[in-house]
A and B are shown apart, each in its own frame.
Chain A
Amino acid sequence: MTISAEKMKEMLWTMVLSRRFEDELMDLCKIQGKIPGMMILATGQEAVGSGACAALEPEDVIITNHRSHNHLLAKGANPNVLMAEIFCKRTGCNKGKSGTLHMAVPEINAPCTSTVVGAGPPIAVGRAFAQQYKGEKRVTVCFFGDGAAAEGSVHEAMNLAGLWRLPVIFICENNVYAGAQRLEEHAPVLNLADRAAGYAMPGVIVDGNDAPAVYQAVVEAKQRALSGDGPTFIECKTYRCRGHGEADPQHYQPKDEISAWQEKCPVPRLRDTLQAQGVITAADFQDMENRAAAMVREAVRFAEDSPYPSPEEALEDVFAE
């Protein structure tokens, strides 16, 4: 499959934007202490969200987890409202009720970010069921981690999706760690995609630091789903270069392992490929970085200038009126 230059550039752009956005978050949280709560970043894993979302239409749905910023930006979320939500301001996408961990952006068909590990897949099954029920030619993509793959909920969801041939794409972002536990310490198999066989769906393994490879796998999964052949399980092999959260000193992660994976960083990798192919020039890339920096600066300014919600507004939004 050849991937258009436009798609390639789109993937590179959302990766560059995500990286800048999260580097800024790291600084805001760790160095400036401006952001409350936990700060969970996907630095080095951007090829997964950016590759997958490039294969989706705006009407396709994503369900994501605690490590969501790249998924949401790649799906098209407005950086201003995400940043404001992360600052817990009233102008955030959820009026400050979610904060960084549970941002819901239904307007871009990213209706649920759950920090309850393993909660995404059953909800994705429901969303895909609705797509099938309504006869929409749409798919639902669910992002979850290697750790989440140990939750019973994930297995129930995969079983049901397999049984009902639902148009759902399970994207397991295998970043080697679940908290402080390495894959070998929390899973009896090294390829989580092996589990797909038990639910009658293809289990595909891709290099999770290769955005075009992820894109291609999702395009194929989408074709299967839309032709009625049901779900696909895609395991993206990648690596968590930063701590579980920014408070994690990574004492259990071998330093040379981290640096080896930093060498495989998906952003320069796609940049170099595209430059070698003549799809972009060095100046084009610099331009992307400048644009991302400007957007993130603007997002931070927007967030900082925005007010906090009033305390009493906490009482709103519990029930639909």
Chain B
Amino acid sequence: MQKLGMGQAVNQALREEMHRDPNVFIAGEGVGVSIHLNPMFPTHGLLEEFGPSRIKDTPVSEAAIAGLAVGAAEAGLRPVVEIMFNPFFTLASDMIVNHAAKLRYLSGGKSAFPLVVRMKSGAGIGAGCQHSHNLEAWVAHCPGLKVVMPATAADAKGLLKSAIRDDNPVIFIEHMGLYFAPMPVPEEEYLTPMGQAEIKRPGTDVTVVTWSGMLGVAMAAAEKLAQEGVQVEIVDLRTLVPLDKETILASVAKTGRLVVLHEATRTGGFGGEIAAVVMEEGFRHLKAPLRRVTGPDIPVPASPPQERFYIPNDEQLIMAIKEII
């Protein structure tokens, strides 16, 4: 099997879908000519392959980039636009929140908006809070938007291909920390359906629900706990919307214990939604109170010791698990 960073896997998905469907085009800041010459980045080499009519470098104008996607999608094109970093989503948010998400509803189901908005997220790059801010809970809160946050290169590729073929707006969030670690990706063509979580590690004693960059932290903690005889089951959500409640509830039914792990800040984080779903629909399975392990309620600080403090780690997860087993 080939080994790719997540950026390369995204790149393959983009290439394959652009070859398959002439209506797919890409727009964003530096998606064609980039300051990076790095093949690990998602849009590397696309301009050379598909030319400037399908790979559109834009001005620094997030509202126009998102609006471009909305308008073009209504006309039947399949835009895949890029917002460089998750915090800059705020500039595009009217187009996404009030328009991409709502216009189909407002049309009484007559129109469709098949578009994908890709953005990079994640702390750990030392750039501080205006570049690192995980806002997935904001978008998940908007009916009409699908939200994808892959944790592996293989999932990123399969999910992005599904997202591009989907007739709805999809917010596709890539954790920058996953761009550079090669991971196995199948050679043959495949699609990964949105709305299906995956058990990334089976276990019997406690369920950890997580997504995106935190999968690695969950895996590391599970490895350590296994040495102590604690078997952790890891549910990688992969998509927040639609949410695969069944897989979560089935896992909790098996283990009786739940910890939700996410990098985003705690208050109003998507972990609260998982907790509520399990309380409402799986309370009878719980043998102990559930726990959340999340970033603290602060902007991501630039200083390295403080940025490390911000990012949830395996020790914190192990402590939370030990509190409830």
- What residues of chain A have their CB less than 8 Å away from a CB belonging to chain B? 36-38, 88-89, 95-102, 114-118, 147-148, 150-153, 178-181, 185-187, 243-245, 247-249, 251-252, 308-315, 318
Contacts and interface: CB of A to CB of B under 8 A. Distances in A.
Nearest to A66: B130
B88 interface: yes
B57 interface: yes
B296 A102 contact: no
A178 B35 contact: no
A115 B130 contact: yes
Contacts of A243: 35
Interface in B254-304: 296-299, 301-304
Contacts of B130: 101-102, 114-116
B316 interface: no
Given A36-B126, A147-B60, 18 more contacts: A37-B126, A99-B302, A101-B127, A102-B128, A102-B302, A114-B130, A118-B91, A147-B59, A148-B60, A151-B91, A178-B29, A179-B34, A180-B30, A180-B33, A247-B35, A308-B306, A318-B297, A318-B298
A38 to B, nearest CB: 6
Nearest to B60: A147
A30 to B, nearest CB: 15
Contacts of B301: 96-97, 309, 314
A311 B306 CA distance: 5
A193 B36 CA distance: 30
Nearest to B306: A314
Interface string B77-114: 00000000001101100000000000000000000000
B298 A315 contact: yes
Interface residues of B, number: 39
B302 A97 contact: yes
Secondary structure type dominating chain A contacts: loop
Given A98-B302, A151-B61, A116 B87 contact: yes
A115 B133 CA distance: 13
Contacts of A249: 37
Contacts of A115: 127-128, 130-131
B305 A315 contact: no
Contacts, number: 135
A116 B133 CA distance: 13
Interface string B28-43: 0110011111000000
B63 interface: yes
A37 B127 CA distance: 5
A181 B59 contact: yes
16 contacts: A97-B302, A98-B128, A99-B302, A102-B129, A102-B130, A115-B131, A116-B90, A152-B91, A179-B60, A180-B35, A245-B35, A249-B37, A308-B304, A312-B309, A314-B306, A318-B299
A97 to B, nearest CB: 5
Contacts of B57: 180-181, 185-186
B310 interface: yes
B59 A311 contact: no
Contacts of A251: 37
A175 to B, nearest CB: 13
Interface string B207-221: 000000000000000
Given A102-B128, A311-B308, A314-B310, A36 B60 contact: no
Contact of A99 (B36, B58, B128, B299): B128
Contacts of A148: 60
- Residue in A153, A248, A311 whose Cβ sees the most chain B Cβ within 10 Å: A311
A179 B29 contact: yes
B126 A97 contact: no
Contacts of A178: 29, 59-60
Contact of A37 (B35, B298, B302): B302
Interface string B127-160: 1111100000000000000000000000000000
* Residue of A100, A116, A249, A314 with most chain B CB atoms under a 10 A cut-off: A314
A96 B62 CA distance: 29
B125 interface: yes
Nearest to B127: A37
B52 to A, nearest CB: 10
Nearest to A307: B305
Nearest to B130: A115
Contacts of B127: 37-38, 99, 101, 115
B33 A252 contact: yes
Contacts of A151: 60-62, 91
B296 A315 contact: yes
> What 9 pairs across the A-B complex have the smallest Cβ distances?
A99-B302, A96-B303, A311-B309, A150-B59, A37-B126, A36-B126, A88-B303, A314-B306, A186-B59
A245 B126 CA distance: 14
A88 B302 contact: yes
Contacts of A152: 61, 63-64, 91
Interface centre among B30, B60, B130 (most CB of A within 10 A): B60
Nearest to B309: A311
Among A118, A180, A247, A248, find the residue whose CB has the most chain B CB atoms closer than 10 A: A180
Contacts of A95: 303
A73 to B, nearest CB: 19
A153 to B, nearest CB: 7
Contacts of B37: 249, 251
Contacts of B309: 311-312, 314
Interface centre among B36, B131, B299, B303 (most CB of A within 10 A): B303
Contact of B35 (A98, A100, A116, A244): A244
Given A36-B126, A116-B87, A96 B60 contact: no
Contacts of A181: 29-30, 33, 57, 59
